[in-house]
Amino acid sequence: MGAAGYYATVLLVYLGTDLLAAWGMNLEFGVAGVANLAYIVVIAAGAYTYAVFALPRATANGGFQQYILGLHQSFAVSVLAAAVVGALAGILIGLTGLKRLRQDYQAMVMLVVSLIAATVIGADTGFLNGDIGLSLIPNPFANLAPTTASWAYVALVALACLVGLVVMRRFTTGPLGRTLRAMRDDEHAVAAAGHSVVNLRLVVQAVGGAFGGVSGALLVAFIGGWSPGAWAYAETLAILTAVIVGGMGNTAGVSAGAFVVYLLLLQGVQFLPQFAAHPGLSEDLGWMVLGGLTIAFIWLRPQGIFPERRPRLGIARFATAGAPPPREEAGLGGAAAPPGP
Amino acid sequence: MSLFVDAVGFGIASGAVIALGAVGFTVQFGISNVLNITYGALMTLAAYLGLVLVGWHLSVWLALVVVAVVIGGISVAFNRALVSPLVQRGASPFGLIVVTVAAGIVLQYVVTAIAGPQAQTYGEQGNSSIGVLGMTFSVAQVTIIAITVVVMLALHLLLTRTQLGRAMRATASNRTLARSCGIATDRVSDLAWLLSGMLCGAAGVALAITVVSFDFTLGATFLIPMIAAAVLGGVGQPYGAMLGGLVVGLVTQITGALWDPSYQDVVALGVLIVMLLVRPRGLFGAAWSARRLLA
C-alpha cells in the first residue's frame, strides 16, 4: 500500500477515536455541565485495560515488559472490558466531584487527579510497565495483509462511531437529554423537579467514561503502544477545545470541532517545514495554537461555531418571553451571563 | 535514623520553596478569586529567565530578585489583559480555569520552542555545607530558607501592620463591602497579582537552584505539591500556605527517603485528597474561606 493510503487510514482511525472521546466529553460537559478536567484518565484507563486484556501473560514475550493480568482475550472482550473500566473510572472521578465544592475548585482537583494518575502509573514499573509503557499490544487484524488490515480497522472504528452516535442520541435528546441540559443550566431546578442530581451526574460520568474507555481501547489496538507520555493532562485540553470550538451541547458541532482540532491543528502542524535546530518545534506550535484557540473562543464565542439549538416548541416561546436569560453556571459564560461576585 | 534526620533537613529546604510558591498562589486567589493554573508555567518561565541571567554572569541570587520583579510585572499584565476582562464579561469559574490552563500550556510551549526540550542547569551553587542539629544543608538551601523566612515575615508585616495590608484583607473577605468602604479594589487586585507573580518568580528560580537540573515541565510538576500545600492551609490563606508548604515538604521528603522517591508527588496528592474529603476549607477552617469554596 502506498504511504498516502496508509496515512489516510491512520488519520481516519485517529479521527474516529477522537470523535468518540469528544462525544463523551460533550455529554459530560457540553450537555450535562459536569466539568471533568481528568477526562484523559478514563481514556488511559480504557487503553490500559484493553492492553492487559488482549496481551498474553507478561512472561510470554520474554518478560521484557511487566504488567498485571495479561489475559489474552479476544478483541471484543477486551474492548468491552475497556468500556466497563472506563465507566468505573468515570464514576470514581465523578465521586470526587460530589463534594459540594466550588466549580473551579473541583476542576483544579481533577487536574491534579490527572497529573497524579500519570505519576503513579509512571512510577510503578510492575503495574503497567511504568514510564516506558506497554508495547506489542495486539491488533485484531494482525494476520491480514497490511492494507486490508488497516482498512478493516477503519471500518471497525467507523462501526464503533456509528454505534456510539446511536447511544449518544439516547442521552442527548429526548426526556433524558432535556433533564441533563436542565441540570447544566440550573441544578437546583432539576433537583426541585424530583431528579437526583447525584445519580444524573454519576450516570453521565459513567457513560462519558465508557466512551473514553472505548476510544482509548480502539486507539491503542491500532497504534500498539501506550505510555504515560501519551496522556498528559494537556490532552484533556485538546478534547475540551474540540468541544468548545465545535459548540458545547451540539453533537454535530462537536464532531466538527474534533475534526478542526485533531486533523487540521494537531496533525496539520506536522506538514510545516522542520527546523533542524529545533526538533519538535511544529508540535510545540500546534499546542500554542490550540491554547490560543481555546482562549479566543471562550473570549469571543463561548457558544462555539455551531451553537446548541434551543428546542423550538410553541410553548417555549411563552415560557421564555420576558424571562431573564438562563444562568450560565455550568457553561463558559459570556456577555449574556451577569457578572460574578 | 540519620537518614530520617537528613530527610527532615531536605523537607525543610523543599518546604521553603513550596511555601514561597504556595503563598503566592493563595494570596492571588484569596483576593481575585480566580484559580490561576498558569502559575506553574510562569514558574517555568521564571526558571528559564533565571537561566538567561545566569548566562550573563549574574549571581543566582541577583537573578532571583530580578526574575521576581519581571514575573511580577508579567503577572499583572496577564491579569489586566486576560483574566480581569473575562471576569468582567461574566465568564464562569470553570471557563476561567480552562483559560488559565490553556494560557499555561501556551506559555509552556513557547518556553520549549525558544529554549528547546533538553534539561538545563544553573550549575552547582558551591559545595560547602552547614550542619544544624545533625541535619546538613547546602549554602544554597540555607539561603533559600532564609529568603523564605524573610519574605514570609515581610508579608506578615504587610498584611497586619499596613493600611495596604488591611485593604488587601478586606478585599479578600468581601470585595463589594471593601469597595463601598472606599478601597480601590482594582488597585488591590493588581497588587495581589504583582505580589503573587513576584513570589512565583522567586519560587521558580529557587526551585531551579534546588533541583539543579530542570526542563520545561518544572512548573507543571511542581503544581501538585504547591496546590496540596495551599489546600492544606485553606486556599486563600497565606499563613495556612506557609505551614502547608512546610508540612508537604517534610512529608514528601520523608516518604522519599524512607519509601520510594517516585511516590513523593503521590503522597502530596494523598494529603490533598484527604484534606478535600475531611476538611475542604483547610486545617484552620476560617469562616470566610468556607464561604468561598463551598458552593
Mutating which of A40, A100, A113, A115 best tests the B interface, going by the most B Cβ atoms within 10 A? A115
Inter-residue contact A67 to A52 (CB < 8 Å) = yes
Q: How many CA atoms lie within 13 A of B49 on its CB side?
A: 28
> Do A208 and A164 form a contact (C-beta atoms < 8 A)?
no
How many angstroms separate the CA atoms of A15 and A232, rounded?
A: 19
pLDDT of residue A341: 37
Q: Is residue A293 part of a domain?
A: no
Alpha-carbon distance A284 to nearest alpha carbon in chain B (angstroms): 5
Mutate to test the interface with B, among A288, A300, A328, A329 (most CBs of B within 10 A): A288
B58-78: average pLDDT? 92
CA B247/CA A341 separation, integer angstroms: 33
Q: Range of A16's domain?
A: 9-232
Q: What value does the mean pLDDT take over residues A297-318? A: 71
Residues A26, A250: Cα–Cα separation, whole Å: 8
pLDDT average, residue stretch A283-296? 87
ipTM score assigned to the predicted complex: 0.81
CA distance linking residue A62 with residue A60, whole number of Å = 6
Please state the rounded mean pLDDT for residues B79-83: 91
Tell me which of B2 and A306 has the higher pLDDT.
Answer: A306
For the cut 70, the answer to whether the pLDDT of residue A220 exceeds it is yes
Question: Would you state the cell numbers that stand for residue B231, as one nine-digit string?
Answer: 489546600
Cβ separation B103–A295 shorter than 8 A: yes
Higher pLDDT, B9 or A319: B9
Mean pLDDT for the stretch of residues B240-254: 86
Helix axes B60-78, B185-211, angle to 10 degrees: 140
For chain A, the domain total comes to 1
Query: Which grid cell sits at A250?
Result: 451540539
DSSP-derived secondary structure letter, B134: T
A281 within domain boundaries: no
Q: Is residue B242 in some structural domain?
A: no
Percentage of residues in chain A with pLDDT exceeding 70? 85
Is residue A138 a part of any domain in this protein?
Answer: yes
Name residues 242-301 of chain A within 8 A of B (Cβ): 244, 278-281, 284-285, 287-288, 290-292, 294-295, 298-299
A317 within some domain? no
Percent of chain B with pLDDT over 70: 90
Give how far the C-alpha of residue A121 lies from the chain's centroid of Cα atoms, to the nearest Å: 19
Closest partner residue to A112 (CB to CB) among B88, B117, B227 is B227
Residue A337 has pLDDT above 70, yes or no: no
Chain A residue nearest residue B235, CA to CA: A105
Distance CA A21, CA A9 (A): 18
CB atoms within 10 A of CB B272: 24
Question: Which residue of chain B comes nearest to A279, CA vs CA?
Answer: B116
Instruction: Name chain B contacts of A298, Cβ cutoff 8 Å.
Output: 86, 91, 95, 98-99
Please tell me which residue of chain A has the smallest CA distance to B260. A123
Do the Cβ atoms of A111 and B101 come within 8 Å?
yes
Q: Is A321 exposed, middle or buried (0-12, 13-18, 19+ CB in 10 A)?
A: exposed
- Interhelix angle for A75-96 vs A103-123, to 10°? 130
> How many CB pairs lie under 8 A apart between chains A and B?
172
**Which of A88-102, A319-333, B77-91, B238-252 has the lowest average pLDDT?**
A319-333
Residue A163 belongs to some domain of the structure = yes
In a domain, B279, yes or no: no
Which cell numbers hold the place of A35? 466539568
pLDDT value, residue B281: 65
Residue found under cell 519538535 = A280
Kindly report the nearest CA distance between residue B36 and chain A, in angstroms. Answer: 10
B118 touches chain A (CB under 8 A): no
Let me know if residue A271 belongs to a domain: no
Would B227 be classed as within a structural domain?
Answer: no
Report yes or no on B288 lying in a domain: no
Asked whether residue B264 is domain-assigned, the answer is no
The count of structural domains within chain B is: 1
The answer to whether position B182 is within a domain reads yes
Mean pLDDT computed over every residue of chain B: 83
Q: B265 φ, ψ to 5°?
A: -70, -30
Instruction: Please compute the mean of the pLDDT values over residues B85-105 and round it to a whole number.
Output: 87
Q: Indicate whether A210 belongs to any domain.
A: yes
* Residue A148 pLDDT greater than 50, yes or no: yes
In a domain, residue A98? The reply is: yes
Domain that holds residue B59: 2-219
Residue with cell 418571553: A321
Chain A residue nearest residue B173, CA to CA: A341
Inter-chain touch A333–B92, beta carbons under 8 Å: yes
CA Rg value for chain B = 18
Residue closest to B67 by CA, chosen among B205, B163, B179, B187: B205
